[in-house]
């Protein structure tokens, strides 16, 4: 008997699922000074839709240095500890967006649905962020911001891993990428996925539609609506 086709759904983290109110940026700034000795507030860097590897390359270029693998490894080994410390600071605000928990709980138990991450965070930081709201167990698979500087390439890696995880002989009915920036929309297009964009980050629904999103929502608060858009209800 043939298996029913699967639905692959890839999720961004920051601006899509949650907001740690600048903890990631603070951690990056502190790690730059700790590892390289450069006091730098990196105000020239836009984190929305960016990747940790690309951000680090931007910082190195601003200081007249080319990013080499040894520097990247040293920096990314230090960064998770700075993120943990930033999140442990008193008064640190953090937000999980409307509907996120409910949606992931529904998707996790649906048969023939594969969830994976497409995030600009390095894997250790991605897991730390998801653990703030006990979301980490929803995502076994993913691709991360230390693997490539280009978000589209990260999306390709995540999709490849999701396909490899399918039982032998199972086909894919549909693929979706859920994100909050035009970079996520472009990454969806690069892997022939439908872009489901949410305006919980720095971009409005209108801007996301203009960027080519297949669907653009204010947030993920209406679980039934999101499941319908994903063809799952």
CA distances to 5, 162, 206 from 29, in Å: 45, 33, 32
Give the C-alpha separation, 120 to 14, whole Å.
Answer: 9
Q: Which residues, listed in sequence order, are joined to residue 172 by a DSSP beta bridge?
A: 6
Give residue 91's pLDDT. Answer: 73
What's the rounded Cα separation, in Å, for the pair 38 and 61? 13
88, 117, 136 - which closes a domain: 88
Q: Please tell me the pTM assigned to this model.
A: 0.96
Of 68, 88, 108, at which residue does a domain stop?
88
Regarding whether 35 and 136 lie in a shared domain, the answer is: no
DSSP element (H, E) containing 113: strand 113-118
Tell whether the model's pLDDT for residue 1 goes beyond 70. no
Within a domain: residue 1? no
What pLDDT is stored for residue 93 in this prediction? 83
| 111 and 182 inside one domain | yes
Among the residues of 110-194, which ranges form H helices?
123-131, 151-165, 182-190
Question: Which of 88, 105, 121 is a domain's end point?
Answer: 88
Q: Report the pLDDT averaged over residues 166-190.
A: 96
Pair (83, 106) in one structural domain: no
The percent of residues in the chain predicted with pLDDT above 90, rounded, is 95
Q: Which residues of 4-30 are buried (b: 16+ CB within 10 A; e: fewer)?
A: eebbbbbbbbbbbbbbbeebbbbbbbb
Q: Are residues 83 and 32 in the same domain?
A: yes
Predicted confidence (pLDDT) per residue in 193-229, tens digit: 999 999 999 999 999 999 999 999 999 999 999 999 9
pLDDT-based confidence at residue 179 (cuts at 50, 70, 90): very high
**Shared-domain flag, residues 186 and 152:** yes
pLDDT at residue 185 tops 70:
yes
DSSP 136: G
What is the residue-averaged pLDDT of the chain? 96
- Full domain range(s) for residue 148: 6-20+94-229
- Are 123 and 179 contained in the same domain? yes
């Amino acid at each position: 008997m043939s298996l029913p086709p699967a639905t692959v759904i890839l999720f961004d983290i920051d601006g899509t699922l949650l907001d740690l109110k600048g903890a990631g940026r603070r951690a990056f700034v502190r790690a730059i000074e700790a590892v390289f000795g450069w006091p730098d507030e990196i105000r020239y860097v836009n984190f929305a839709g960016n990747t940790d590897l690309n951000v680090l390359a931007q910082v190195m270029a601003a200081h007249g240095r080319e990013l080499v693998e040894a520097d990247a490894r040293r920096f990314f080994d230090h960064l998770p500890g700075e993120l943990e410390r930033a999140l442990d600071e008193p008064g640190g605000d953090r937000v999980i967006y409307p509907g996120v928990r409910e949606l992931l709980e529904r998707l996790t138990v649906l048969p023939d649905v594969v969830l994976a991450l497409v995030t600009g965070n390095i894997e250790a930081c991605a897991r730390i962020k998801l653990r703030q709201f006990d979301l980490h167990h929803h995502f076994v698979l993913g691709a991360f911001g230390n693997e490539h500087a280009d978000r589209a390439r990260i999306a390709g890696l995540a999709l490849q891993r999701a396909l490899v995880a399918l039982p032998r002989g199972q086909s894919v009915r549909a693929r979706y990428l859920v994100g909050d920036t035009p970079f996520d929309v472009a990454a969806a297009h690069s892997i022939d996925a439908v872009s489901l964009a949410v305006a919980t980050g720095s971009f409005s629904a209108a801007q996301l539609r203009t960027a080519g999103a297949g669907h653009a929502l204010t947030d993920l608060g209406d679980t039934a609506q999101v499941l319908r858009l994903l063809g799952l209800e």
